[in-house]
A and B are shown apart, each in its own frame.
Chain A
Amino acid sequence: MSTVRHQPEGLDQLQAQTKFTRKELQSLYRGFKNECPSGLVDEETFKSIYSQFFPQGDATTYAHFLFNAFDIDRNGSIRFEDFVIGLSVLLRGSVTEKLNWAFNLYDINKDGYITKEEMLAIMKSIYDMMGRYTYPCVRDEAPSEHVDKFFQKMDRNRDGVVTIEEFIETCQKDENIMNSMQLFENVI
């Protein structure tokens, strides 16, 4: 058991940095602290928490990518501030900010380009979460086919990578994606 403890910044500062109300921050922190009494989430805890929502499949790989997306300063643990800032973007941010966040998630090495390999890794991890018992059965080529479709849509200049501009532009043109971005507004 680590003896590292972390206390978050005050409620007022967090309120200024994020778009949550005071009550929302309070309830968020209570849940956070319940699972992580030390105030920090390390990757293992994060993976185990996230896996509980997907009992049929294996959510650890996707949780790994998610962890990297939330751990902005790359120090191997998520503090409450990182957690809440990330959530603020996802739930209360503009569509562009959300798309930025999604791009950041897919861009594993954070170099500004999504390559096919990165996308394939992400896609495989998503399909892993489905597990074995699906209808129809997940074939081995399903993730790569999905990746191909994605690239066909997104990669305008066919240079094999997707840049942030291509990504945002294509998503803004797609009605389904725009609709689904608004889906989780009232989650808190």
Chain B
Amino acid sequence: MAAGVAAWLPFARAAAIGWMPVASTPMPMPPQEKRKAQDGLIILNVSGTKFQTWRTTLERYPDTLLGSTERDFFFHEETNEYFFDRDPDIFRHILNFYRTGKLHYPRQECISAYDEELAFFGIIPEIIGDCCYEEYKDRRRENAERLQDDEEMDMNNDVTPVNLTFREYLWRAFENPHTSTLALVFYYVTGFFIAISVMANVVETVPCGTLPNRSKEISCGDRYALAFFCLDTACVMIFTVEYLLRLIAAPSRYKFMKSVMSVIDVVAIMPYYIGLVMTDNDQVSGAFVTLRVFRVFRIFKFSRHSAGLRILGYTLKSCASELGFLLFSLTMAIIIFATVMFYAEKGSTGSKFTSIPAAFWYTIVTMTTLGYGDMVPKTIVGKVFGSICSLSGVLVIALPVPVIVSNFSRIYHQSQRAEKRRAQRKTRLARIRAAKIRGTNAYMRYKQNGLLIDSLEEEAGQALVGKAPSPPFESQHHHLLHCLEKTTNHEFVDEQTFQANCMDISVMNKTGSRASSLSSSPHGLGSCCSRRHRKKSSFSLPSTNNQELSTIQIRERPVANSRASLNAKLDETVPLKCDEPYITPSMVSLSAPVVTSSDGDGSTTTAYSQSNIVRVSAL
């Protein structure tokens, strides 16, 4: 928390005297120093290297090994020092953490060794300072990936888990053909049939000799029409079955149907079914022949079998805008040159440049350095512009390749970095928030514990400590925060309580007031939590903090004390406990009047349920 500036706590506490004259309520008592903190030197012997530090330095972090009594286990009587059989190089950093409050990660150390040392000394790695945190996290992630890779290699030889449903099993078999022999067989069979189908499509257009009664050559498709038809039917049946199986097995059918691969599947098999339906109609059969073109889409089904195709598709998709712009600029150049060529060649006789769109063909062929030669300029002006056109074509074509490559690499790296930054930022903010919440919660706990211990002591008349007292620094800090609360007559609450309070207003606005005295105070309750005290057990509040629950239970015992200030404290802190499920605030607050102290504070009974603000003595 603020342990890094622990040395300044006495100053902060002394400066609190500045609040005293303006405070409207009496201040809480400071925590008792059970023993005067001996500020002695401690010798830590780590595998022969001696470190020395002040005792108070180590005790800044009481939940670590060195800061708590756990270190007594390592005390070596003969030499009057604490001996640890650990790595002294890493220990240096751990000790620096106590001194400066910041934990650093040395780059040359192995991440696992460092983690082990941290775990041994009870320090959580999350508090590594910002300067070293990124490096630490990177190394840790690499390590985890390495471990995971090792695990995966082992896992590939494992037997598949038995408890998958049939549908999940089927989907897994489709997505990952290596999982079972059946899936592998199916994978190769479909691949084979895709190849067969594509080849059949190609071969059936090859001329295959002549029929005896015709002089014209006919294609193989027409000659062996039946064979090709049977082959096509078989392929389409396999593809249909495959598609239906995938559809059944898909975890999200809608998503599956939207995916590119399924669209390709559908387009590949549709022509066949349409052809089945429409064979009789002669007029539509022309269109049917065109539909056969779509059969070539079957070749795209190979992308399930080849990762390279998939990556290419993704690249094109991601560079789509650049490609579009390129196309646009090319179109501009084509139009410009076609226009120029048309007007240049207008005069010559028998020129093929009959119109500007006709000149497009020439421009494209020239710019891409194809040069078919079916259209050539005849005039001198035309030839001049024609050469300019082909030279500029080289340039224009040479441009796109590096652009696409650089775009691809830029986009790829950008997305990597953005992801990384987002994840780190989220974790960092979460850490900061968690630290703040920890601090607040610690303070809340202190308030109940402090009262508990004090009240127990009052009762028993001796130092009855139910649980370990908090370290002197923390209790002093909490006392300081408590004084601030008293000065302003407001209390610290955590965020959940605050939200709950503000919701309560709307909920409880309807309930009537039980005690007239409560409603009469205009200032007392302000805007929030005005009716909490009157709530009965029927109102159940969300339970968020279990620790407070246990301490509240202890506090049900009637607390008799003579100090008005303590009594006041008990009442005031009650409203905070709005997150217990069944212990109602009203119950505890009701006990207060029963518990009237021996000096009969009648004022406290009326004032107990009002907020602390109104209880003022002299003002």
Asked if A183 is an interface residue, CB under 8 A from chain B, the answer is yes
Q: Are B14 and A184 in contact (CB under 8 A)?
A: yes
Given contacts A150-B22, A176-B23, A186-B33, are A27 and B528 in contact (CB under 8 A)? no
Q: Are B20 and A177 in contact (CB under 8 A)?
A: yes
Interface string of A120-134 (1 = CB under 8 A from B): 001100110111111
A177 to chain B, nearest CB (A): 6
Q: Are A139 and B527 in contact (CB under 8 A)?
A: yes
Given contacts A31-B8, A146-B22, A149-B619, are A56 and B490 in contact (CB under 8 A)? no
Given contacts A90-B17, A130-B484, A184-B13, are A136 and B611 in contact (CB under 8 A)? yes
Choose the segment among B24-32, B362-370, B453-461, B462-470 that binds chain A (4+ C-beta atoms closer than 8 Å).
B24-32
A residues 117-166 in Cβ contact with B at 8 Å: 119, 122-123, 126-127, 129-139, 142, 145-146, 149-150, 152-153
* Max count, chain B CB within 10 A of own CB: residue among A53, A179, A183: A53
A33 to chain B, nearest CB (A): 9
Q: Are A134 and B492 in contact (CB under 8 A)?
A: yes
Q: Are A102 and B495 in contact (CB under 8 A)?
A: no
Q: Are B501 and A137 in contact (CB under 8 A)?
A: yes
Which residues of the other chain, B, contact A86 by a CB distance below 8 angstroms? 14
Q: Are B24 and A149 in contact (CB under 8 A)?
A: yes
Partner of A167, one of B21, B523, B575: B21
Question: What's the Cα separation between A34 and B4 when bound, in Å?
Answer: 10
Which residues of the other chain, B, contact A40 by a CB distance below 8 angstroms? none
Question: What's the Cα separation between A168 and B191 when bound, in Å?
Answer: 97
Question: What's the Cα separation between A129 and B21 when bound, in Å?
Answer: 17
Q: Are B22 and A135 in contact (CB under 8 A)?
A: no
Question: What's the Cα separation between A129 and B15 when bound, in Å?
Answer: 14
Interface string of B576-597 (1 = CB under 8 A from A): 1000000000000000000000
B25 to chain A, nearest CB (A): 8
B363 to chain A, nearest CB (A): 67
Which residues of the other chain, B, contact A130 by a CB distance below 8 angstroms? 484-485, 488, 490, 492
Partner of B14, one of A30, A52, A87, A122: A87
A27 to chain B, nearest CB (A): 6
Question: What's the Cα separation between A123 and B487 when bound, in Å?
Answer: 10
Given contacts A134-B490, A139-B527, are A123 and B484 in contact (CB under 8 A)? no
Given contacts A53-B2, A177-B20, are A135 and B613 in contact (CB under 8 A)? no
Q: Are B12 and A50 in contact (CB under 8 A)?
A: yes
Which residues of the other chain, B, contact A101 by a CB distance below 8 angstroms? 17-18
Given contacts A52-B4, A133-B493, A135-B576, are A66 and B18 in contact (CB under 8 A)? yes
Q: Are A135 and B17 in contact (CB under 8 A)?
A: no
Question: What's the Cα separation between A176 and B21 when bound, in Å?
Answer: 9
Question: What's the Cα separation between A133 and B494 when bound, in Å?
Answer: 6
Q: Are B12 and A179 in contact (CB under 8 A)?
A: no
Asked if A12 is an interface residue, CB under 8 A from chain B, the answer is no
Asked if B407 is an interface residue, CB under 8 A from chain A, the answer is no
Q: How many residues on the B side are at the interface (Cβ–Cβ under 8 A)?
A: 66
Secondary structure class of chain B's binding surface, majority of residues? helix
A129 to chain B, nearest CB (A): 6
Question: What's the Cα separation between A66 and B301 when bound, in Å?
Answer: 76
Question: What's the Cα separation between A175 and B523 when bound, in Å?
Answer: 24
Asked if A105 is an interface residue, CB under 8 A from chain B, the answer is yes
A residues 74-128 in Cβ contact with B at 8 Å: 83, 86-87, 90-91, 98-99, 101-102, 105-106, 119, 122-123, 126-127
Q: Are B23 and A180 in contact (CB under 8 A)?
A: yes
Asked if A171 is an interface residue, CB under 8 A from chain B, the answer is yes
Asked if A187 is an interface residue, CB under 8 A from chain B, the answer is yes
Asked if B39 is an interface residue, CB under 8 A from chain A, the answer is yes
A residues 37-63 in Cβ contact with B at 8 Å: 49-50, 52-56
Question: What's the Cα separation between A64 and B583 when bound, in Å?
Answer: 43
Question: What's the Cα separation between A133 and B481 when bound, in Å?
Answer: 14
B234 to chain A, nearest CB (A): 73
Question: What's the Cα separation between A176 and B19 when bound, in Å?
Answer: 12
Q: Are B2 and A52 in contact (CB under 8 A)?
A: yes
Question: What's the Cα separation between A83 and B497 when bound, in Å?
Answer: 39
A136 to chain B, nearest CB (A): 4
Which residues of the other chain, B, contact A34 by a CB distance below 8 angstroms? 7
Q: Are B15 and A90 in contact (CB under 8 A)?
A: yes
* Max count, chain B CB within 10 A of own CB: residue among A27, A98, A137, A174: A137
18 A-B pairs with CB atoms under 8 Å apart are A30-B7, A53-B480, A53-B481, A55-B436, A69-B18, A102-B21, A134-B490, A134-B493, A135-B493, A135-B611, A136-B613, A137-B526, A137-B528, A139-B526, A142-B488, A153-B619, A177-B23, A184-B17
Given A139-B526, A149-B619, 4 other A-B contacts at CB below 8 A? A50-B8, A130-B488, A137-B502, A177-B23
State the A residues within 8 Å of B (CB): 27-28, 30-32, 34-35, 49-50, 52-56, 66, 69, 83, 86-87, 90-91, 98-99, 101-102, 105-106, 119, 122-123, 126-127, 129-139, 142, 145-146, 149-150, 152-153, 167, 171, 174-177, 179-181, 183-184, 186-188
State the B residues within 8 Å of A (CB): 1-2, 4-27, 29-30, 33, 39, 436, 439-440, 476-477, 480-481, 483-485, 487-488, 490-495, 497-498, 501-502, 523, 525-530, 575-576, 611, 613, 617-619
- 4 A-B pairs with least C-beta separation: A31-B7, A136-B526, A90-B14, A52-B2
